[in-house]
Structure 1
């Protein structure tokens, strides 16, 4: 029934090719019109509950509800920084500070800035010193300017030294290299705090775009004085250069490689052109449908064209190569194309359905942008199916008919049938014939080894290095990448190296300690954790020590100014080490009575009971996220030593690692789910089309091997598991199942024609295998050019896809034949698989 319906559609395409061309061109114009409605910006929003079940997320939510402190009061604000830097100069001079106050006054005149500022809005060294000079903590900008103008340079230097003394909160506004209590620095920053929009759900919302633009433009006007920002507007020129380098290096290299391989595969200019028309139309359809359905493009705009180009080339190769196989010496164009479409049509439908299942598995992702990618790619796959079963065959029939009428011979040999490739592609069949069980066992062992390597693959939440390798800058002519000397890049690198983040949640890791926190042993463990923190490179230090905030540090600070609490603490500290050994609960209560706001930052009191305590550790920003996370977990482990306490580090790095771990575990479940669904779909489909559900189920088995081998390849190549690679691993299922379907479908067709298993395998692998080789070379080569990119995320993505495509081809051509041969001999219908049948084709 399925094949009968397909054959009727094929007859329409081949017999009425001109009408099909007109209809498809009109339809393409209508669908492509949706591109004008396309929303390019995808949602990066994470579902509110997506990572809510990680321990880190749960503890973060717990602390936001039960602790006081700046990080909770500023949950509805976001910050943007403006920097002042003068090489060899002093940005703490009177003139420099006054100039910054005037800069602030200028940007406050902008309605976008003034309307978005939260409270006082700006924190800078100039403001701290200006308010001291005015003698009024609430003095406005004009009053600060007048006060500083009225002081001598010496008086201003003294105010600066006092304002930036050891322990001052204003030290976050100067670089880490600044010596507290001095009046000289090479740079400083002003932090503008803005209200976030109502209902904002992103964990790190950006400041208002108009306000950022105003800060940037005002800084640009003062760039000669060393003013700069590092926001989106400042980054625009840098990313334009990166995009230009990508367009000049990656795209030409990919296009040249694709054209070279297609030229080798087709050895025919007309077929290359017709195939590319189909590729372009498929991509246009994908974006057009996204536009009409109002689905944001997001990552689909970057990854979609490459994936759909690869899949479209694959479809084209199968159509054209099967057409070449089918065309006899005295035949015209229409009938061979009809037989070719009929023979590959079912495989195309199955490839589309199963690839769609693999891609749509991403709708389980907690990230909106990845869900949109899954939907977008699936629409692209469906578009490619429609285009390459209607427009492309009709265009091929029309072009070949026209060229033959003017005297060109359009008969071409299929790739894989030549004397060089045929024995190479047939090696898997030869191995299957001689030792199929051995081949399968070796493949399973290799796949299992890769799966075992999953736990040892390096996991990096983010790959941040984007330095351009020297060899990439020395490529000839326009292919050379520009060295990273863009002002934005230099400024960004300087800020990362010289400053702690202005965002408290990024520069601090909170360690939540739960359990018997009123036991004196708990504070001993906290003291041990603080000592551990002081010895770690990942903990930020200034003035020879780390400013770790803990119940002990708050107690000492309060005791220094509150005599009554000092007496309570001294009475509880029996050995004089600064850690209470008795009456700990009473000490906690006295601390709350003496300094409730400060106590609420480190102690949780509910219903008169002390439930937990926390330690705030300053984090060194110049290290990799994973190094920071490892250090914070180490400090927590020191605090947690013993059975009475649990300690959970909560910070940007531990958030990222926890989410990556959950995502990596989740992607395994997603791939298993996708494999299960694909297996059911193929079993039902093959039962309806070929009469064998087991053949359909068998077709999905090699994908499990491919996944294991890809994991092994990632381990050997040093490709880490990141947010990008973890989320896109399910694409391997969607890409790799294509190869196996084409081989098993062709094998079933050859058996139906009466060929014995070995002969059927040989015909399937050398015929279909040639198209698979061309597809692997073109798609793999296109993605391989991504390895030239400076972004480690893009390189990792390219490596993942190259591994997936290459290994899918190897398994389908050199391992899968052994599985098919054993299936045919032990499970397949005896009327079709009797190797020595007198009426069948000899097996060799």
Structure 2
């Protein structure tokens, strides 16, 4: 039934090539012209919030939100930070301070900024110095500017020295700045805004005013800055990658096809496949996002692969006295089974990401699947019909269109045939070596490093910058500025720091509770992971909150001191009475750190301002886990880290743990599909299973390659492993399907294997060179995540090619030798009518 339907479709395409082109042109217009205007190109970053609700840190974070909601969200303050940097000068000079005041004038002249400004206003060393210089109460901004303009440089320097005696001024300077020094290369100002009033216009005003003073070292790191960086990054990536990829692809096509017409026809198919992919994404409402270059490159490689097989088989099939239609008919019918199977199995690997909690990966899997499906349709309809039309026209004009298939040349054919000799002489040995290599690679999974995200460092190789425009990479300052800020400053406030929290539940009124809590806090503090900045509270806990209240409330101080039997400043008895007195004295403060429900004390909350090491956040989480273990003590209590770092680590662990199951299920689904299709199309389910086996070896090779190249498991790379399955099955299917076709024609095992390897192997070589080369060009991009992704795909493609030529032939020999099944004989068919 399937074979008959496929045969009739191919018959129609090759017999009515002009009608096929007309129908497909109309359909292309509907899909592309109708879908592209609806395409969503916005980034779909983030994860499905419901996907990880069962993870303990997320469950506790939700608990905190529910039970500490009022105190967690009691302020709508948003602090916008403006940085000033002059590596070769002094940002505390009179000129730099005046520039800050004029910057404030500019942003306050914006109605949106003025409306969003909170009573706290702007905190800046320039204002502190100018107020002292003005020597009057609450001078206006204009008066401050006038005071600084009239003061001498020496007077300003003296006032700066006096100002830096204030800890509030020091927190605006780099960490560890010597208060006696009146010079600095970096400083910052804080703009206090109402979070509910901050919109795009406010952030744009801050960004544009800083850009106007970029020559004086002013910059901000807000959304408009990141948008400018992203736009610049992807423009530079396109100019750097696409020329290299295009030259490489066209070079390989020229080597493979050795024919300009076939190159043009093949590239038309590639472009249509990509256009169909984006059109279908638009119709379905799936976001293309900022990583759309990945499916473009991947679909380009796979569609070129389809073209290689169609053209290569056509060249093989065309006899000396044949016209164009009949050999094209046979070639499309022969490769269509493999192309359909490649599409189906690749879709299983790619579409396994539909349940992915990360939106970008989910959309990526859908996009690639749609692109591959579009390529299948185009390369069994438009491309054969266009090839027949063009070749027919040229041959009527007297230009012969007969070309030799790749793999049949005097150099490549002997090289490919040696893999058949290897299978003939040492199939069992090849299988053993493959199993050992795959096992070693798979074992490397346990040694892969884990990171939530590979942080960009903004570094660009010198040679990439020296390439002629527009290919040369022009650095954008945001990435370097971000790294500089992280290295230079401690957070200006606790709210500006990375927040980590530990929730303590259970028996929180037993005598040792606060002692254990404080011991855990000290353990974390001693690890050096907390903010160390003047004026910034690194820890907020029941102990710190009660100690602060005791200093201003004598009645509570008495209760607090009576409960502290050893004088260490931590109550260690009668905690229920202490909590009662705490709530009675200041219920708002108490509710920030102690949960009281229906008169019962159920949990305590400790907040930390973290000076996280961005290169190794997992070690920071481990320190909090150690502190939490001490907080639990020996009583009936639990303590759980529930901040952003702990949540990221838990999500990554969940993904890494689940990806093995996902890959196993995908492999099982592909094996089942292969068995069914090979049974229907070739009469042997076991042959389909044998062809599917090498995918596991490809996975092992990829994992081993990641280990050797130091590619970590991240939220992205771990989830992209399922894409490897979709890529790894491609080449094996082509060899296995060709082998079955040749057996059905009555050839012996080694004759069939030789025909499959030399015929199909040539197309696979061209496909590997183009696809792997195209993805290798992504390694030119100075972004660790993209380099890691391209490396994984290149390893997958190269290993798939080598496995299909070196391992699969030996498996096929062993299958033929020991399997009770055999491939069914080919049915007889009628000749194709010709116009």
TM-score (norm 1): 0.87
- Residues 419-434 of structure 1: matches in 2 within 5 Å? 419-434=410-425
For structure 2, the residue ranges without an aligned partner over 5 or more in a row are 826-835
Aligned residue for 1:540, secondary structure, equals coil
Moved more, 18-27 or 345-354: 18-27
- When residues 544 and 239 of structure 1 are mapped into structure 2, their CA distance, relative to the original with a 3 A threshold, is closer
Residue 50 to residue 830, structure 1, CA distance change in 2 (3 Å): closer
Matches within 5 A, 1:483-562: 484=475, 486-501=476-491, 504=495, 506-542=497-533, 547-562=538-553
- Corresponding residue to 2:719 among 700, 707, 727: 727
Q: 1:155 to 1:777 in 2, by over 3 A?
A: closer
Q: CA deviation at 1:778?
A: 0.9
* 2:657 pairs with 1:665: yes
* Deviation of the 1:680 alpha carbon: 2.8
Matching residue of 2:832 = none
C-alpha spacing 1:642/1:17, structure 2 compared with 1 (3 Å) = same
- Shift in CA distance, 191/757, structure 1 to aligned 2, threshold 3 Å: farther
- Counterpart CA distance in 1 for 2:782 and 2:602 is 49
Q: Distance in 2 between matches of 1:208 and 1:223?
A: 23
* Secondary structure, counterpart of 2:289 in structure 1: coil
Query: 1:370 — aligned with what?
Result: 361
Does structure 2 conserve the Cα–Cα contact (< 8 Å) formed by 1:736 and 1:804?
yes
Shift of residue 774, structure 1, vs aligned partner: 1.4
Q: 1:315 aligns to what? A: 306
Other-structure match for 2:278 = 287
The counterpart of 2:265, out of the listed 271, 274, 280, is 274
Q: Which residue of 2 aligns with 1:769?
A: 761
Say which of 709, 722, 732 aligns to 1:717. Answer: 709
Secondary structure of 1:332's counterpart equals coil
Between the aligned partners of 1:118 and 1:650, the Cα distance in structure 2 is 32
Q: Deviations over 1:172-224 (max 9, x none)?
A: 65543446799886412223535469xxxxxxxxx632222122223334445
Q: Do the aligned residues in 2 keep the contact of 1:299 with 1:370 (CA within 8 Å)?
A: no
Partner of 1:62: 63
State the 1:103 CA deviation.
4.8
Which stretch has the larger CA shift, 364-373 or 511-520? Answer: 511-520
Superposed displacement of residue 392, structure 1: 0.9
Q: State which of 244, 256, 260 in structure 1 corresponds to 2:247.
A: 256
Query: Is 1:254–1:782's contact at 8 Å kept on the other side of the alignment?
Result: yes
CA contact (8 A) 1:130 1:145 kept: no
1:340-355 correspondence runs (5 A): 340-355=331-346
Q: In 2, are the aligned partners of 1:569 and 1:587 still within 8 Å (CA)?
A: yes
1:438 maps to: 429
Deviations along 1:425-444, one digit per CA (max 9) or x if unpaired, are 34443333334333333323
Residues 506-530 of structure 1: per-residue CA shift (max 9 Å, x gap): 5231122334333343333333323
- Is residue 382 of structure 2 the alignment partner of residue 391 of structure 1? yes
Tell me how far apart the structure 2 counterparts of residues 118 and 365 of structure 1 sit (CA, whole Å): 41
Match of 1:807 among 799, 807, 817: 799
Could you tell me how far apart the structure 2 residues matched to 1:227 and 1:132 are? 22
The structure 1 residue matched to 2:321, chosen from 330, 340, 344, is 330
Report the more deviating stretch, 21-30 or 769-778.
21-30
8 A contact 2:456–2:783 mirrored in 1:
yes
1:264-322 Cα shifts (integer Å, max 9, x gaps): 22222222221111111111111122223333211462212101100101000000111
| CA distances 1:378-434 after superposition (whole Å, capped 9, x unpaired) | 211111011111111112222223333344433222222334333443444333333
d(CA) in 2 for partners of 1:20 and 1:96? 71
In the TM superposition, what are the counterparts of 1:2-401 in structure 2 within 5 Å? Answer: 2-33=2-33, 34-67=35-68, 71-74=72-75, 80-85=80-85, 103-104=103-104, 106-113=106-113, 117=116, 120=119, 122-125=121-124, 165-166=166-167, 173-178=172-177, 186-195=186-195, 208-223=199-214, 226-235=217-226, 238-239=229-230, 241-299=232-290, 301-401=292-392
What is the CA-CA distance between 1:657 and the residue it aligns to?
1.8
Matches within 5 A, 1:572-721: 572-621=563-612, 623-624=614-615, 625-640=617-632, 642=634, 644-721=636-713
- C-alpha distance in 1 between matches for 2:63 and 2:652: 21
SS at match of 2:540: coil
Q: CA deviation at 1:49?
A: 0.7
SS of alignment partner, residue 560 of structure 1: helix
Q: Please give the alpha-carbon distance, in whole angstroms, between the structure 1 residues aligned to 2:609 and 2:354.
A: 37
Q: Is the 8 A contact 2:81 2:188 kept in 1?
A: no
Please state whether the residue corresponding to 1:725 is helix, strand or coil.
Answer: coil
Q: SS where residue 362 of structure 1 aligns? A: helix
Q: Which moved more, 1:120-129 or 1:395-404?
A: 120-129
Could you tell me how far 1:642 is from its partner in structure 2? 5.0
Is the contact between residue 97 and residue 125 of structure 1 (CA under 8 Å) also seen in structure 2?
no
| Bigger Cα displacement from structure 2, 250-259 vs 777-786 | 250-259
Contact 2:305 2:764 in 1 (8 A): yes
3-state SS, counterpart of residue 629 of structure 1: helix
Shift of 1:480: 7.3
DSSP-derived class of the 1:187 partner: strand
1:636–1:649 contact (8 Å) kept in structure 2: yes
Gaps of 5+ in 1: 134-138, 198-206, 834-844
Maintained 8 Å contact 1:300/1:372: no
Deviates more, 1:285-294 or 1:517-526: 517-526
The structure-2 alpha-carbon separation of the partners of 1:611 and 1:180, relative to structure 1 and needing over 3 Å to count, comes to farther
Larger deviation, residues 622-631 vs 302-311? 622-631
Q: CA offset at residue 612 of structure 1?
A: 2.4
Deviations 1:613-639 (A, max 9, x none): 233222225532344334433443454
Does the 8 A contact of 1:164 with 1:182 survive in 2? no
Q: Is the 8 A contact 1:510 1:616 kept in 2?
A: yes
Shift of 1:52: 1.9
Q: 1:680 to 1:426 in 2, by over 3 A?
A: same
Deviation at 1:50, TM superposition (A): 1.6
Q: Shift of the alpha carbon at 1:476? A: 5.1
SS of alignment partner, residue 51 of structure 2: coil
Alignment check: 8 A CA contact 1:98 1:149 kept: no
Aligned to 2:810: 818
Indicate if the aligned counterparts of 1:754 and 1:832 stay in contact, CA closer than 8 A.
no
TM-score by length of 2: 0.88
Alpha-carbon distance in 1 for matches of 2:21, 2:69: 69
What's the CA shift string for 1:351-389, capped at 9, x where partnerless? 112222221111101122322222222211111011111
CA distance in 2, matches of 1:762, 1:614: 70
Contact 1:533 / 1:546 at 8 angstroms: preserved in 2?
no
Deviation, 1:99, is 7.1
Matched residues, number? 814
Q: Distance between the aligned counterparts of 1:82 and 1:474, measured in 2?
A: 29
Contact 1:506–1:651, Cα closer than 8 Å, also in 2 = no
2:717 counterpart SS class = helix
- The range that moved more, 824-833 or 210-219, is 824-833
Moved more, 664-673 or 371-380: 664-673
Q: Is the 8 A contact 2:345 2:726 kept in 1?
A: yes
With over 3 angstroms needed to count, the CA separation of the structure-2 counterparts of 1:367 and 1:79, relative to structure 1, is farther
CA distance in 2, matches of 1:735, 1:695: 20
Paired residue for 2:737?
Answer: 745
Partner of 2:831 in structure 1? none
Return closer, same or farther for 1:620/1:561 CA change in 2, 3 Å cut-off.
same
Q: Secondary structure at the match of 1:723?
A: coil
Name which of structure 1's ranges 491-500 and 173-182 shifts more when overlaid on structure 2.
Answer: 173-182
